[in-house]
Amino acid sequence: MSSQAGTVLIVDDDAALTDVYAAWLADDYPVETATSGAAALDVIDDHVDIVLLDRRMPGLSGDDVLAEIRADGHDCRVAMVTGVEPTTDVIAMGFDEYLVKPVDSDDLHRTVETLRDRLAYSDDLQELYALLSKRALLETNPDAADTDAYDDLDDRIDALRADLTDTVSEFSHDDFRAAFHDLTPQDPEGGANAN
């Protein structure tokens, strides 16, 4: 576990399930749990990097908690981990990934690692990956993929891709190398690692 790793907050009204998820992740990440939306909002601050959030909870639902997280400007990545099958309503939601229960340890680890990687991305790139995730999710539901909301999602993805391509194409060779220097592992001699 990295000494700079932020906390993973697991939010589900099923306390036994939050305990299982926490046990799966605790060897690799600092983990906190909350069994209600209100408790989750009390915990979320700058030390929380990733939130695994159930949608259906009594009181404040996961949808409400997600809206509050985004309205308050918290810079954390959020994965919905829920039994709610996705429909086009997910397009307007500010999550980064969506897992439909049941999930296993590998699912959670992959999701947390993906979201941890995305913390270093620009806002546009984070948005693009979140939208691509939503599109992939909706493509499993043919009815959802044949709607105006889905078409709007496709248009936004195309616009973001074009903006990002334009930005990268404006880099000189040296600018490009400088911008992505920290993303390339270095060997002890100072050269790029071939791995």
Domain boundaries, the chain: 7-169
Beta-carbon contacts of residue 51 (< 8 Å; ≥ 6 apart) = 8, 9, 11, 40, 44, 69, 76, 77, 78, 79
Task: State which CATH number among 3.30.450.30, 3.40.50.2300, 1.10.287.3510, 3.60.20.30 fits the domain covering 7-169.
Answer: 3.40.50.2300
Residues listed for the chain: 195
This prediction's pTM: 0.76
How confident is the prediction along the chain (195 residues), in pLDDT tens digits per residue? 343 468 999 999 999 999 999 999 999 999 999 999 999 999 999 899 999 999 999 999 999 999 999 999 998 999 999 998 888 888 889 999 999 999 999 999 999 999 998 888 888 888 888 998 888 888 887 777 778 888 888 898 888 888 887 766 655 445 444 444 444 444 444 444 434
Structure-token pair, residue 95: 């999550």
Selection from 49, 142, 51 nearest residue 88 by Cα: 142
Q: Are 6 and 90 in contact (CB under 8 A)?
A: no
CA distances from 46 to 95, 169, 186, 192 (A): 17, 34, 29, 33
